[in-house]
Chains A and B, each alone.
Chain A
Amino acid sequence: MIETLPAMQTTRVRTVDFMQPLTDQPQPDAPAFGVKNLSMWYGAKEAIKNVTIDVPAKRVTAIIGPSGCGKSTFLRCLNRMHELVPRTRVEGEVLFAGQNLYSPDVDPAMIRRRIGMVFQKSNPFPTMSIAENVLVGLKLNGVRDRNLLNERLEKSLRMAALWSEVKDDLRKPGISLSGGQQQRLCIARAIAIEPEVLLMDEPASALDPIATMKIEELITELKANYTIVIVTHNMQQASRCSDFTAFFYMGALIEFANTAKIFSNPTRRQTEDYITGRFG
């Protein structure tokens, strides 16, 4: 139930002082997620192995690792999306706003309202217009106020850097947009319900370089208001748009540090081998 979740602590938006190096480890104050000893199984297969990590608030955290290392599974554990897959089991805690997301009294639907998700393949609802796609979440949550809906429609599309491209075509089908625009439409849909966190599972992997850059630019802008966790196979993308990077291998968290540190001088040999292409 939403009532059982205390309001998120307000986090001051930091301005980056380029003269001061970022610390190697995430800032200790107000992590968005406190993941403690998280393990997760698909049937008998342990996909996530005893992961402990504090995901910093209002920052971009990238999760990298080879295919099958558990990075998408870990992401889904942050809003219980894995529960949509049969025979899954979780141990450990994911603290969000001081509450364990896996407590029996927490409503998964409400978690997903506060912790939005953008998937690898853009998935606008095919029968809905651009405007309907953006507003569907609000309408499902019972919002009927026309002014509020219009206001949120424009705000979400502006935040997703799509407004100027679609403002005259809001009634056109969402699937009439290009691949990059569809993905930004999905981001607008995710932020329309004003979540606190955006989980992104390879959001630009199917896009061309220009559309990819627009998504990356958008991520950089959105982090002022959202905690973003992004799974990516593209290490240049991780180094460009994230503040912190976590490297996963075979379900385990190998290293988590400031992105600049990970890509210039990682501590663990496995991380170095992976990011330099000496893996496997």
Chain B
Amino acid sequence: MEEKRHILGTFDEALRSLRENVLMMASLTERNLNHAIAGLLQRDDELCALSIADDAEIDELEKQIDKDGIDVLLRFQPVASDLRRVVSAIKMNSNLERVADQAVSIGRRARKLNQHPPLQEIELIDPMHRHAVAMLRDSVDAYMREDAALAREIKPRDKALDEMNSNAGRTLTERMGDNPEQLRGYLNLMFIARCLERVGDHATNIAEDAVYAVAAEDIRHMHKKPAIEEQHSPEV
């Protein structure tokens, strides 16, 4: 349904500006992640350095979005869907900044790996990267387009990424036994795989916030409920 205009044009403008900055943050974060992984796959230290150096820009934008979000809450005291949009934007902002931090970690580990002969197991990383970036892009898209159906698809996709990370961990552990002199390199790859798995977690968080913004539904921690009930259930 078409969104009616707010009586206060300044509110629509402030919300639009906030959402545009979140989109900018998402673009910069994805770019940094891509630079870090390209630095690894192409053995390009320049790209690794770029992913690390550009994090400062994202940190500044994070602070700006938080400030703008608080300003909107303070000035307009939004309610209902407006409130959910602003709160979700602030939470997304935090998740995106953490994705950028993962890019920095990957960039640093990639630089270390680039100092040594290439490892064939690097091929484990590329599909994980593509999967994680697709999740990130779709979760941000779901928020921007207010598409709850797309947002709900993200969580199951995170399971696939977790599985890829587990498989990579198993393979690399085996390789460590076979080839102990490359132990440090394998550990760095395991660390990078773990970073990408965390990117998937942040994308899932963003998707959950998108569902909350659109449908006012809190879908977080749903899978944990039975465990909690079990924990507190009286002994029979």
Question: CB within 8 Å of B: which residues of A?
Answer: 235-236, 239, 263-266, 269, 272-273, 275-280
B78–A276 touching, CB < 8 Å: yes
Question: CB within 8 Å of A: which residues of B?
Answer: 1, 3-8, 11, 77-84, 216
Chief secondary structure at chain A's binding surface: helix
Q: Which A residues are CB-close (under 8 A) to B5? A: 278
Q: A74–B73 Cα gap in the complex (Å)?
A: 33
Q: Which B residues are CB-close (under 8 A) to A239? A: 79
A-B CB pair tally, cutoff 8 Å = 40
Residue among B5, B77, B79, B82 with the most chain A CB within 10 A?
B79
B80–A277 touching, CB < 8 Å: no
**Can you add 17 more A-B contacts, CB < 8 Å, to A264-B79, A272-B81, A276-B6?**
A235-B79, A239-B79, A264-B80, A264-B216, A265-B84, A266-B80, A276-B78, A276-B79, A276-B81, A276-B82, A277-B8, A277-B11, A278-B3, A278-B4, A279-B4, A279-B7, A280-B7
Q: Which A residues are CB-close (under 8 A) to B4? A: 273, 278-279
A263–B80 touching, CB < 8 Å: yes
A264–B84 touching, CB < 8 Å: yes
Residue of A236, A264, A266, A278 near B77 (CB, 8 A) is: A236
Q: A27–B7 Cα gap in the complex (Å)?
A: 35
Q: Which B residues are CB-close (under 8 A) to A266? A: 80
A272–B80 touching, CB < 8 Å: yes
B83–A278 touching, CB < 8 Å: no
Known: A236-B77, A265-B216, A269-B1. Contact between A277 and B83, CB under 8 A? Answer: no
Output the least CB separation between B178 and chain A (Å).
53
B216–A277 touching, CB < 8 Å: no
A277–B6 touching, CB < 8 Å: yes
Closest 8 CB pairs of A and B: A265-B216, A278-B4, A277-B7, A263-B79, A276-B82, A277-B6, A275-B79, A272-B80
Output the least CB separation between B194 and chain A (Å).
35
Q: A55–B48 Cα gap in the complex (Å)?
A: 64
Q: Which A residues are CB-close (under 8 A) to B8? A: 277
- 8 A/B residue pairs, CB under 8 Å, sorted by A: A235-B79, A264-B83, A276-B80, A277-B6, A278-B5, A278-B6, A278-B7, A279-B4
Q: A273–B78 Cα gap in the complex (Å)?
A: 12
A275–B11 touching, CB < 8 Å: no
